[in-house]
């Protein structure tokens, strides 16, 4: 059991489902969380659709006290606290008492930009010489590590409490960092995940880059089209995903329910060289990352039976499929099943890796491979590499053994993690 790391808790706050059961149901039945947003239309956005979790006042009251809600204006923080708290409870843990923290448990919870709306609100107050009205939580809501700090205080954890940030690779990287800390013996339990703010101040830059679809404002559920010949750009999204990682020894000792095992992972960068750039991955680096993750996991390439790709619904999807094929040395009907969660939730940016990792792991629990929406017209370059039977349009029954999850982010940074169905020895 020494050195083995397992997943004992999951939490999610996604555009198509807040909470595990809602999220799992939506994934199984292809229910989209992408909607038209009048605010984006009013602001003159070309793309007026997005994936945004729908949070009720009742849910807010469940996770935040009236005092905590006062002045709270950070959607990413809200999503992260909800997902992280749920994952901790799902693992069977409770917050520590007031006197001492749990020295063996820590947090690595990433984000891209946190508290944008709160930051904007603060700027206006300062410019109008109303600094004293900022409130005592403005710093916590706008500092990047606010999410890990907030969760650490809520749960009372005393090991490493930190925030990572690697663009769209953030969530997957957080899982790998948490796994490595447990492997090294420096922690027994790590809450890992990532979150992303929602709203025009997050999505506006991408709209200005003209990499978002503009022709689906009246048909939002068809807009996110990973692997499709008619893919027209990624749909912006937001949310949070969270996982509780634990040493197998610790999990067994307390009789925990185990979702899956984290076998290994790797992170790297293409250095923005070759065909890599600030916005595009270096293919050589992507392939090296996948191979290094499999090597770290001690998995033979032929053993991977499901891939949850990064697959953003851009022209780079075919390139990603080619990279998977080259890295695994597999094609046609020998290619693993592959799916793209972004078809239903959009691209949740820094939260994408963790939300999609939760989706990946739920496939073990449900005995399924979730379907791929909006890609009945598969890109012809993809069809040259993969048999269409390996890209199921609808959810199928399948008992996965090895699932590979990868994320590729702005700045030419990559992360790949390998999950395995848990089987007691």
**CA–CA distance, 211 with 236 (Å, rounded to integer):** 10
What residues contact residue 243 under an 8 Å CB cut-off, 6+ apart? Answer: 7, 9, 10, 11, 87, 175, 178, 191, 192, 193, 354, 357, 358, 361
**What end-to-end distance do the CA atoms of the chain give, in Å?**
9
List the beta strands (DSSP E) in 181-313.
Answer: 189-196, 239-247, 260-269, 306-308
Phi, psi for residue 337 in degrees, rounded to 5: -60, 145
**CA–CA distance, 212 with 169 (Å, rounded to integer):** 19
| DSSP single-letter state for residue 377 | S
Strands 402-409, 368-369: pairing is unpaired
**CA–CA distance, 139 with 158 (Å, rounded to integer):** 22
Distance (Å) of CA 95 to CA 86, 103, 106, 196, 251? 12, 13, 12, 24, 17
**Of residues 250, 347, 375, 379, which has the active-site annotation?**
347
**CA–CA distance, 343 with 223 (Å, rounded to integer):** 8
**Catalytic residue check, 310:** yes
**Of residues 310, 348, 379, 416, which has the active-site annotation?**
310
**CA–CA distance, 354 with 169 (Å, rounded to integer):** 9
What residues contact residue 58 under an 8 Å CB cut-off, 6+ apart? Answer: none
Exposed e or buried b per residue across 280-292, where buried means at least 16 C-beta atoms within 10 angstroms of its C-beta: bbbbbbbbbbbbb
């059991």: which residue's tokens? 1
User: 10 Å Cβ neighbour count for 25?
Assistant: 13
**Catalytic residue check, 347:** yes
Nearest to 350 by CA among 96, 89, 50, 80: 80
Beta bridge partners of 11: 242
**CA–CA distance, 151 with 163 (Å, rounded to integer):** 11
Tokens for 284, please give them.
């050589």
Quick check: 371 and 392 in contact, CB under 8 A? yes
**Catalytic residue check, 250:** no
**Of residues 168, 195, 348, 375, which has the active-site annotation?**
168
Let me know the angle formed at the C-alpha of 176 by 305 and 393, rounded to the nearest 5 degrees.
35
The catalytic residues are 168, 310, 347
């Amino acid at each position: 059991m020494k050195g083995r790391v397992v997943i004992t808790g999951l939490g999610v706050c996604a555009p198509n489902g807040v909470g595990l059961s809602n999220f799992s149901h939506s994934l199984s039945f292809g229910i989209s969380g992408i909607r038209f947003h009048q605010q984006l239309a009013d602001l003159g956005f070309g793309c007026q659709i997005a994936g945004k979790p729908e949070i009720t006042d009742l849910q807010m009251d469940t996770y935040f006290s009236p005092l905590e809600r006062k002045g709270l204006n950070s959607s990413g923080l809200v999503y992260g606290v909800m997902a992280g708290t749920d994952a901790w409870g799902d693992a069977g843990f409770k917050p520590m008492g007031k006197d001492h923290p749990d020295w063996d448990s820590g947090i690595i919870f990433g984000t891209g930009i946190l508290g944008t709306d709160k930051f904007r609100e603060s700027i206006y107050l300062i410019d109008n010489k109303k600094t004293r009205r900022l409130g005592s939580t403005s710093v916590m809501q706008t500092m990047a590590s606010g999410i890990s700090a907030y969760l650490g205080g809520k749960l009372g954890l005393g090991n490493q409490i930190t925030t990572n940030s690697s663009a769209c690779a953030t969530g997957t990287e957080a899982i790998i960092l948490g796994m490595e800390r447990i492997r090294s013996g420096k922690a027994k339990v790590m809450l890992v995940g990532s979150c992303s703010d929602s709203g025009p101040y997050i999505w506006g830059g991408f709209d200005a880059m003209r990499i978002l679809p503009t022709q689906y404002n009246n048909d939002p559920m068809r807009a996110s089209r990973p692997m499709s010949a008619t893919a027209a750009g990624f749909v912006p999204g937001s949310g949070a995903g969270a996982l509780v990682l634990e040493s197998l020894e610790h999990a067994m000792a307390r009789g925990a329910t185990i979702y899956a095992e984290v076998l290994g992972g790797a992170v790297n960068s293409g250095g923005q060289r070759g065909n890599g750039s600030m916005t595009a991955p270096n293919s050589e680096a992507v392939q090296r990352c996948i191979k290094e993750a499999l090597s770290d996991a001690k998995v033979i390439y032929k053993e991977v039976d499901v891939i949850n790709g990064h697959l953003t619904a851009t022209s780079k999807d075919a390139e990603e499929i080619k990279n998977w094929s080259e890295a695994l040395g597999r094609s046609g009907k020998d290619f693993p099943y592959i799916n793209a969660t972004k078809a239903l939730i959009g691209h949740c940016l820094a939260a994408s890796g963790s939300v999609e990792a939760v989706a990946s792991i739920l496939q073990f629990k449900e005995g399924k491979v979730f379907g791929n929406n909006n890609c009945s017209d598969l890109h012809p370059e993809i069809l040259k590499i993969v048999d269409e039977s390996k890209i199921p349009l609808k959810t199928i029954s399948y008992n996965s053994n090895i699932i590979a999850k990868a994320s590729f982010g702005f700045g030419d940074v990559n992360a790949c993690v390998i999950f395995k169905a848990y089987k007691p020895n």
